[in-house]
Amino acid sequence: MLSLKLPQLLRVHQVPRVFWEDGIVSGYRRPTSSALDCVLSSFQMTNETVNIWTHFLPTWYFLWRLLALAGGPGFRAEPYHWPLLVFLLPACLYPFASCCAHTFSSMSARARHICYFLDYGALSLYSLAPPPHHRLRLPLCRLLHAGLLAAQPPAPALCAHRGAQLLPVYRPLLLLPLALCWGRGHSCGQEALSPSHGYHLLCALLTGFLFASHLPERLAPGRFDYIGHSHQLFHICAVLGTHFQLEAVLADMGSRRAWLAVQEAPLGLAGTVATLGVAVAGNLLIIGAFTASLLRAPASCPLLQGGPPDGGTQAKQQ
């Protein structure tokens, strides 16, 4: 009878410092895992398992929403629908990229960084051009996207990476008033908001807070290693935020359908594809440059060793 041996799990002091996570004491995978070991570990309870599945399953949900909307009646006939693709395609891509990053990040220190290069690149695409679509918002989104690309770090070990990752999360807070008021063609009072807008902003706030705070595991190291740590909650809030953002966009488009129908579309299909293509090409160039630099770095490079952990957390873990 065929038996399958699951990879052995380690404690924090058994893995290199670059793999350490604040407040997570056990459930680490071998830092030299094979690709097969990484895949098998997704069916084993580790400190990454919930991270993997909370983005793998939503990938298929958002893909289903994309196909349902793109195949719906009248989608291709209205030019203001095309920029919606720039939102929906990255909405499918970023959870899948994150799922792959969490799955294969234990192959080596270099592989870990490269996995998160791709993860951050997909996340930055998600910030490119969320609708509603009007002339003011698209240039602003391009500027924010360019800023995010410039802020992309060479590795998760650098402290600046939190700001780079949180920019797509808090971008809606900066742009929502513009989306609701400028260029709408009608009032921007309370009646302009749908419940989904409020839920989306609440999820955005929770997502940023959980990612930056490392709560609750920072308060009780070892208690939330497998279930309930901040990155799992961060994933759930991020996915819910994307769902509510899509619902808010569709509600906004529905309420503005008559106004949008008489506007000149800022981008046609070709312009929409070109905008996304330029963003993808820019991301790939940045990721390629960082990857090449990382592959040339010696094994003693501090980036591959990890920085010192928080003193209080280290004391509690020991």
Partnered with residue 28 across adjacent β-strands are: 10
Instruction: In whole angstroms, give the CA distance from residue 61 to residue 57.
Output: 7
Other CB atoms within 10 Å distance of the CB of residue 26: 16
**Comparing C-alpha atoms, which of 163, 235, 165, 178 is closest to residue 206?**
235
Other CB atoms within 10 Å distance of the CB of residue 129: 26
Domains of the chain, by residue range, sit at 32-295
Instruction: In whole angstroms, give the CA distance from residue 247 to residue 244.
Output: 5
Instruction: In whole angstroms, give the CA distance from residue 288 to residue 208.
Output: 28
Full-prediction pTM beyond 0.85?
Answer: no
Q: Could you tell me the two tokens for 271?
A: 């312009």
Q: Is the pLDDT confidence value at 93 over 50?
A: yes
Look at 231 and 306; give whichever has higher pLDDT: 231
CA–chain centroid gap for 88, Å, is 13
Task: For the chain, give the mean pLDDT.
Answer: 78
Q: Could you tell me the two tokens for 10?
A: 């380690």
Q: Maximum Cα–Cα distance for the chain, whole Å?
A: 69
* Residue 313 pLDDT grade (very low, low, confident, very high; cuts 50, 70, 90): very low
* Residue 311 pLDDT grade (very low, low, confident, very high; cuts 50, 70, 90): very low
CATH number for 32-295 (one of 1.20.1070, 3.40.50, 2.40.30, 3.30.200): it is: 1.20.1070
